[in-house]
Chain A
């Protein structure tokens, strides 16, 4: 996606807010929402994923990125000791989504396998207040004339407008964990050109979060475009094993044909490093060990935000 997040914003009729929303930030700052020995646990998880998990000297990104994600999720799940309703979450891997919408007479569709989705039984309450939602009415979406907003999008013939998390595509009716909570994207290709760069990763996260929210809205409120009474919130986390992108998306309206009116909102916290460097073999200069093996530059805040996004909606 060429322009990255700006293009995605235009396509999904969204207004961008930097940083995470205050409800999530309050969870981050609250010491009650932390595990015991959280820093130790996270450091152990990083060391396990980056240093210890293989018989070779250093694991590759294809190996350590999913392992790091699984270890962090294991740590987050341990919080269900304090909050038993956290057990009401289910991870769905290899998850397929498809959602269609019209945007100024261009029919757009989001489809495909998009990583790992975490579903919950209860929806996340809306993050922005009513005033903020109304204030988006005045916001003008930035266009990048003369570049068409659909540049770099693949044009396909859509025969069936599939629109679901509930009907024929992803989950059947009656699924108890029916609310999409968080999407996880792991950029784990070994070679750098095969991975999404941070800007494109954020755009991809936005598009898929929007797709999931839109599909859920169509299931709940029907196919007519309108402003939603209860906005739908879907979160998204993207990482390449070291850099984390956090995103909270709120769908306020399904009326996407025109560019005026109430817009959707997204809060993005980008490029959060969990650690600076993971040294697998000690660095030796002139027979003296200058840098022993280990993890350098650990930032505890990144995991706190990860955990806060996990706990959001339950605490």
Chain B
């Protein structure tokens, strides 16, 4: 029947405008007649509202998370592809406006986690506990200079039983230096392929460093013992934000949501079965989200139509469904020398920030969708993840807290929550590697990396 076929065609969100508006007079609930509601297939705003309602109900009532994700990304339309690693100028402002993120420079102050994580902080604790147990006090450990890390692991391991285990900076430094030296100096490799310098040395170095550090630290962080390490995983997220008028084509003149898709490939990723604790409460307001009046295509961003994917790195059935840390490697065509040559030194930090914000937003939002939240069912607890963006020598650290997924036109109106991203500038880990030794090793950067890896929920 033509009518039923037409109904089925119209059901999937085709919008046809008409002049008539159907009224809905109130009726007593015990009426013999079914309730009078707006038509579902007419070319009217009320009909469009009703179709949207129906779609939202279908997604809310989906049987499983896979079904929900399938319905969420069912309709394929041209969408903007966001690249976390981009050469666009001031991309981090644009990305912050697309994802409703506030950027706070510097990392969030952690409540001193057992106060023994920094070797400088262990000094006052060791001094206190040495007075407790009488008798033998190995002088190597109990002669600390507060604030300085004794190089070469001079602290003796037999601290008093009350002190939490300390971190051996010398051991960690030697691990990092060994990984670096092996990849850059000791192992004889062929010359790097053209424009593939990053795959030759910094890529393997990062993999080695993270895997050995994770194995070394899993005694202190039981979350790492249950974690899953992915090499070159895929992270995707699809969302709507804002509105625009369709410019050309058979749908010209209609008002459409602006669709975005991030397809990210971090170099390395650690996923854990338990969620990281929140950094600030859900409703906190730490700054402003930039408002950009231009169309997203001015960034430049380009549209394409393909599958709307939401993926954290593995499927929904995986028990390690929360993210811990991502590691991103800056590719060759975005290296620092290129920016310096084009007189764009300030854009170097913009690149790192844009990468951190976009990748972490995609990852945390995909994790939230895996738990059943979406833009009509906003998150009830914040999702936290970390990222390290590096080009092999310079490291920048980012921390992201997702407070809201509601970014569409309807849901953003009464939504005071904002997502928050903390981040540092890029600092070098070392100065130069020559003759089998690493010159100018920076302990601060390594310590920050170790702190990131040791992050865990409070009850573990």
Contact = CB atoms under 8 A, between A and B. Distances in A.
A71 B318 contact: no
B278 interface: no
Contacts of B188: 96, 168-172
B211 A77 contact: yes
Interface string B219-244: 10000010011110110100000000
Contacts of A54: 234
Interface string A70-93: 110110011011000011001111
Interface string B307-331: 0010101110111100000000000
B156 to A, nearest CB: 15
Contact of B318 (A52, A67, A93, A172): A52
B215 A87 contact: yes
Interface in B165-221: 175, 178-179, 182, 185-189, 204, 208, 211-212, 214-216, 218-219
A74 B211 CA distance: 7
A175 to B, nearest CB: 4
B72 to A, nearest CB: 15
A137 interface: no
Contacts of B317: 47, 51-52
Contacts of A174: 186, 436
Contacts of A175: 182, 186
B314 A53 contact: yes
Interface residues of A, number: 36
A80 B213 CA distance: 11
Contacts of A90: 178-179, 182, 208, 212
Contacts of A92: 182, 187
A264 to B, nearest CB: 27
Mostly, the B contact residues are mixed
A176 B175 CA distance: 12
Nearest to B188: A170
A55 B309 contact: yes
A74 B178 contact: no
Interface string B331-345: 000000000000000
Contacts of A86: 215
A81 B228 contact: no
A171 B182 CA distance: 8
A77 B218 CA distance: 10
Contacts of A55: 234, 236, 309, 311
Contacts of B175: 87
A95 interface: yes
A172 B212 CA distance: 22
Contacts of A48: 228, 314, 318
A93 B182 CA distance: 11
B187 A95 contact: yes
A94 interface: yes
A209 B179 CA distance: 24
A10 interface: no
Nearest to A35: B225
Given A44-B320, A78-B218, 17 more contacts: A48-B314, A53-B313, A53-B315, A54-B234, A71-B229, A73-B211, A74-B229, A77-B211, A77-B214, A80-B215, A92-B187, A93-B204, A95-B187, A96-B189, A172-B185, A174-B186, A175-B182
18 contacts: A48-B318, A53-B313, A66-B231, A71-B228, A74-B214, A74-B228, A74-B229, A77-B211, A77-B215, A78-B225, A80-B215, A80-B216, A87-B175, A90-B182, A95-B187, A171-B188, A174-B436, A177-B178
Interface of A: 44, 47-48, 51-55, 66-67, 70-71, 73-74, 77-78, 80-81, 86-87, 90-96, 168-172, 174-177
Considering the complex of A and B, which 8 residue pairs feature the smallest CB-CB distances, nearest first?
A77-B215, A81-B219, A52-B314, A52-B315, A175-B186, A52-B318, A74-B229, A80-B215
